[in-house]
Amino acid sequence: MSATERKRRRTSVVARTAFAVGAFAITAIALLYASTLQVVRSESDAALQRSVDVDIAAFADIYASGGRAELIARMQDRLAMQAEGSDQAHYMLVEVTGAKLAGDIGRWPLLSAENSQAAFVTLSDGTPAFARATQLDAGLRVVAAREYGGRSALLRRIGAAFLATGFAVVLAAFALAWLAASRLRVRIAGMNAAFDTVEHGDLRGRVPGEERTDELGALALHANQLIDRLSVVLLAQREITDQVAHEIRTPLVHLDTRILHLIDKAVDPALISGLGSVRHEARRIGELLDSLLDIASNEARRGDRSGFARVDLSCIGQNLADLYAETAIEYGLDFDTEISRDVSISGDAMQLTRAISNLLDNAFKYAGAGARIRLVIEPGPRIVVRDDGAGVPEEMRERIFERFQRGHGERGGHGLGLALVRAIAQQHGLEVFCRDAGPGAEFV
């Protein structure tokens, strides 16, 4: 038996909700940024192409109407009249032989004039630009190009804006989600506190929030209705068990008295023996009834600490050790103890004595002649009954704490001793389990 509770690892709905909302906000902003970037790039590419195509069309018109000299003059004028800034225009007019006639591009880009090819290129001075080349006649070619550094700057500004705005949105979404989830956690914590109160035997506990109209309000309402129903059922159970105890125990007492009266008057040894057997079985039924009622009472009062007082487990253990010492000699067992001083717990002294006694009875019954049995009581509190007998099969180590479960080689009894131990342990907020002692069994 141990006071240490095995706790499951729990995660918080607050953190999960907040991180889920934050992740969703980040994903949404990233998708919006990607789509915005794509639209801006697409529109910018189209604008670059339109501006270059307008320049090419203008040069073709000038050449058609004014000839080569006019085209050279107009091209030089355009270059001279450009305002300083980004996205400058660049031109180049060459003969088919490659001789440059006009323009500010130092070397012909890798574009086919015969096919009027357009593409993003790097000019001879290293400037990135979008350009189109075309052939004006059999001996003359022209290329028009536009820088797009302004677009790159715009994209950087858009990226910075999205980064700043996205950070603010994610932070706000995370904060709002954390706030909403924290409020939810407070309400759920109130519900869990109420359930803990009910679990510890106080059926007056109420789940808060049933007056609200949301889902948790409906849950609280149903939980309180269930607690009310449970209170009625437990009250009816206690009344029934009290009535059963009275209605069955009284006839059994009368039956025992009459059997003793008949035994006193009987002369026939066979009749006396038969009446003794009947009396023994009647007493067994009474013991079975007492055990069942004790288990039911302890289970019904699970977590109910009313009437508890400080109990000296060390003293109880020592008294039981003195009591069982002679029994150990009769059974041929090696019985010893390891009891720490001043080990105490808040509880029912009689019930705790019965629990330890049942554990010792179980060990004495199953360990076998010559086995060693040890009773250990340590701070915690931690109570251990260990033997080096045949042990308990692994598949039985949990089942033996159920009602009417008996170990192998059962020597009488009802199979209720360990069930009562568990009921008493749970009433005191303790746990009991069986494990391999290698060899033997160990009940903790």
**pLDDT band at residue 6 under the 50/70/90 scheme:** very low
As a whole number of angstroms, the distance between CA 2 and CA 384 comes to 9
Q: What's the mean pLDDT in 229-242?
A: 73
pLDDT at 202 over 90: no
User: Does the reported pTM lie above 0.85?
Assistant: no
Per-residue pLDDT of 378-395, as tens digits, reads 888 888 888 887 778 777
Q: Say what percent of the chain tops pLDDT 90.
A: 10
Of the ranges 19-23, 112-116, 226-230, 244-248, the best mean pLDDT one: 112-116
Per-residue pLDDT of 203-217, as tens digits, reads 777 888 888 888 888
What radius of gyration do the chain's Cα atoms show?
47
Residues facing 137 on adjacent strands: 140
**CA-based nearest residue to 438, from 389, 399, 395:** 389
- Please give the structure tokens belonging to residue 413: 């009894």
| 348 vs 247 pLDDT, higher one | 348
Per-residue pLDDT, 2: 36
For residue 117, the Cα-to-chain-centroid distance in whole angstroms is 62
| 60 vs 297 pLDDT, higher one | 60
Strand order from edge to edge, sheet including 434-436: 334-339, 372-378, 382-387, 441-443, 434-436
Half-sphere exposure of 103 (CA within 13 A, CB side): 23
**pLDDT band at residue 245 under the 50/70/90 scheme:** low
Per-residue pLDDT of 152-162, as tens digits, reads 777 788 888 88
**pLDDT band at residue 219 under the 50/70/90 scheme:** confident
Per-residue pLDDT, 3: 36
Per-residue pLDDT, 1: 43
* Structural domains present in the chain: 15-153 (3.30.450), 215-300 (1.10.287), 309-443 (3.30.565.10)
Per-residue pLDDT of 105-150, as tens digits, reads 989 999 998 889 999 998 888 888 899 999 998 889 999 998 887 7
Find tokens 């069982």 and name the residue: 324
pLDDT at 409 over 60: no
Find tokens 């109209």 and name the residue: 213
As a whole number of angstroms, the distance between CA 393 and CA 378 comes to 26
Find tokens 């006694």 and name the residue: 357
As a whole number of angstroms, the distance between CA 427 and CA 295 comes to 10
pLDDT at 7 over 60: no
Secondary structure, 3-state, the chain: CECCCCCCCCCCHHHHHHHHHHHHHHHHHHHHHHHHHHHHHHHHHHHHHHHHHHHHHHHHHHHHHHHHHHHHHHHHHHHHCCCCCCCCEEEEEEECCCCEEEECCCCCCCCCCCCCCEEEEECCCCCEEEEEEEEEECCEEEEEEEECHHHHHHHHHHHHHHHHHHHHHHHHHHHHHHHHHHHHHHHHHHHHHHHHHHHCCCCCCCCCCCCCCCHHHHHHHHHHHHHHHHHHHHHHHHHHHHHHHHHHHHHHHHHHHHHHHHHHHCCCHHHHHHHHHHHHHHHHHHHHHHHHHHHHHHHHCCCCCCCCEEEEHHHHHHHHHHHHHHHHHHHCCEEEEEECCCCEEEECHHHHHHHHHHHHHHHHHHCCCCCEEEEEEECCCEEEEEECCCCCCHHHCCHHHCCCCCCCCCCCCCCCHHHHHHHHHHHCCCECCEEECCCCEEEC
Of the ranges 70-79, 175-184, 222-231, the best mean pLDDT one: 70-79
Q: What's the mean pLDDT in 259-277?
A: 81
- Please give the structure tokens belonging to residue 8: 């499951």
Per-residue pLDDT, 73: 92
Neighbours of 224 (CB within 10 A): 17
Average per-residue pLDDT in the chain? Answer: 81
Backbone angles phi, psi at 343, to 5 degrees: -90, 120
Residues facing 372 on adjacent strands: 334
Q: Say what percent of the chain tops pLDDT 70.
A: 86
Per-residue pLDDT, 10: 55
pLDDT at 406 over 70: no
**pLDDT band at residue 85 under the 50/70/90 scheme:** low
- Please give the structure tokens belonging to residue 243: 């009535």
pLDDT at 328 over 80: yes
**pLDDT band at residue 197 under the 50/70/90 scheme:** confident
As a whole number of angstroms, the distance between CA 435 and CA 397 comes to 7
pLDDT at 4 over 50: no
As a whole number of angstroms, the distance between CA 333 and CA 369 comes to 6
| 411 vs 420 pLDDT, higher one | 420
For residue 304, the Cα-to-chain-centroid distance in whole angstroms is 29
Q: What's the mean pLDDT in 7-12?
A: 52
As a whole number of angstroms, the distance between CA 325 and CA 442 comes to 19
Q: What's the mean pLDDT in 390-410?
A: 71
Per-residue pLDDT of 330-380, as tens digits, reads 888 888 888 888 888 888 888 888 888 888 888 888 887 788 888 999 888
For residue 30, the Cα-to-chain-centroid distance in whole angstroms is 29
